[in-house]
Amino acid sequence: MNMKRKHMNRLMWRMSLVAVLQVAGSAMAAGSVEDPPKLMADVYDSGFKEGHDTYNGMSTGSDGKIYYVLCTTVHDVAGRMFCFDPASKKITTIGDLTEMCGEKDMKAVAQGKIHCCFWEYQGKLYFSTHDGYYVILNDMEVIGPPPEGWKPYQGGHFLAYDPASGKTEDFGIAKQGEGIIAMSMDVQRGRLYGLMWPSGDFVTYDVATKEMKDLGSMFRDGENGKGDRYRTICRSIAVNPDDGAVYFSTGDGAIIHYDYSLQTLETVKGDTMKKDYFGLYDPSNSGHMGYNWRQVVWYASEKSFYGVHGNSGYLFRFDPKAEQVEVLERLTSLPSKRCGMFDQFSYGYLGFTLGPDGRTLYYLTGGPIYENGKRVTGKDTTGKGEAKGLENLHVITYDIPAAKYIDHGAVFMPDGQRPLYVNSIAVGKDGSVYTLCRVERNGHTSTDLICIPAKSIQLKR
């Protein structure tokens, strides 16, 4: 009797297991995610053949126009600022960065880049400049020495451009000889913030009082350090508009807090960015951003920051009041999730922003390319801020209140080109997504503006 009961129990268990597997299989089939569609981008010609990869470097103005900079990497050609009008589809050249900084006739190494977004305050667009002329010395990226007859790079400037008058106001050099690698603004209080490169010094500038302050570095010897003194510098400064507090991360995972009232820097004690999900990193290694966040935005409804960690592509929420970091979702493309790859761009992607509806995050990230069923890996040509191989560009959205992730698909140009080296984003008032990427024309490759129309990006509530 006992043997018979055991046999029946085993039989029922097997039947139950089969039923469970059948239900699970049906559910997986019914809920399986199809490959996202292909998105077609409109390509524009800014008429600047020297244009090179841009990091951040673009924003949508309150006038609905897209402001952007195409960067350069040579000593004698400066980056150039443009304005695109979505209504007329026309591009206007605003100016040369070196001239904007008052250095036109100095024969100094050019102001080749901006490495920040534009911040609008009292009708003007505020931004900062950065060096674009580098050389690799002892396996480290350093500011290029000036050619004979040229002066060295003078240093990054804080600037403001007035769209109404077309004039630019120069607030001066933040630190002599260093570029501004990250910049943000408190548009409630008129305060500019920057992180210098290569030292990592944190600088402030008050628009009303015109006072510049340097509070030193929280990155050891920064990106000029040797051995354990080396630390990558955070590329995104977060501002809490409610109390004026400022935050940035370090490669070790620390979150640094600037107290607006006291004007001091201190390490947040409640939590860090050092999470197992993000991976394991040696912060003294220059091939990645370590535990730094890559990009962060303020989400007013929750009085919190939302950000993405480079390399791993994980979305997180940082509550400054609770001093807590909450890991939410891997924000990479569906193909990246399926094969389990890290970002191919060694530092992660900067194309992350909050859309005009105030609730939807937009993220431009990479995805693997497959040929004949096999992933194309390319070759790891560099470990410093460049792509390790060819990849597709995917448009991701994340609805914060609904916690809804959508991969809208891979982006292509009309002639089949893939947008490469994408690290910038601006979302138009109609929901169209703009970015800057490499475009080949007549055998010449330069960076230029493309647009993924809003009709291709269907947000589902």
What Rg, from alpha-carbon coordinates, does the chain have? 24
- Taking the C-alpha atoms of residue 127 and residue 433, their distance in angstroms, rounded to an integer, is 21
- Does a structural domain hold residue 317? yes
Give the residues across from 410 on adjacent strands: 38, 394
Neighbours of 415 (CB within 10 A): 9
pLDDT at 342: 83
Q: Does 26 reside within a domain?
A: no
* Residue 2 covered by a domain: no
Dist. CA 231–CA 220, nearest whole Å: 7
Q: Which domain holds residue 110?
A: 39-456
Q: Is residue 23 one of the residues assigned to a domain? A: no
Q: Are 142 and 134 in contact (CB under 8 A)?
A: yes
Judged on CB neighbours under 10 Å (0-12, 13-18, 19+), 69 is buried
Rounded Cα gap, residues 421 and 378, in angstroms = 15
33 burial class (0-12, 13-18, 19+ CB within 10 angstroms)? exposed
pLDDT, residue 461, reads 63
pLDDT for 139 equals 77
Strands (E), 11-123: 38-40, 42-43, 58-60, 66-70, 80-85, 90-96, 119-121
The pLDDT of residue 307 is: 98
Residue with tokens 């841009």: 54
Residue 55 contacts residue 73 (beta carbons within 8 Å): no
Residue type, position 413, single letter: M
Burial of residue 219 (CB within 10 Å: 0-12, 13-18, 19+) is: buried
Residue 221, domain member (yes or no): yes
DSSP 337: H
H or E element, residue 13: helix 2-31
* Contact call for residues 423 and 13 (beta carbons, < 8 A): no
Report the alpha-carbon angle 108-177-54, nearest 5.
Answer: 80
353 and 434 Cβ atoms separated by less than 8 Å: no
Q: Which of 245, 267, 241 is nearest to 256 (CA)?
A: 267
For 427, phi then psi, to 5°, come to -110, 120
Asked, for residue 416, whether it belongs to a domain, the answer is: yes
pTM: 0.91
CATH code of the domain containing 73: 2.120.10.80
Q: What is the pLDDT of residues 327-339, one digit of tens each?
A: 999 999 999 999 8
Record the tokens describing residue 227, joined without a space. 């051995």
- Domain presence at residue 21: no
Q: How far apart (Å, rounded) are the C-alpha atoms in residues 8 and 296?
A: 59
pLDDT value of residue 458:
80
Please identify every stretch of the chain with a pLDDT value under 70, giving residue numbers as ranges: 1-35, 378-386, 461
8, part of any domain: no
Q: Mind giving me the DSSP string for 230-263? A: --PBPS--EE-TTT--EEEEBTTS-EEEEETTTT
Number of domains in the chain: 1
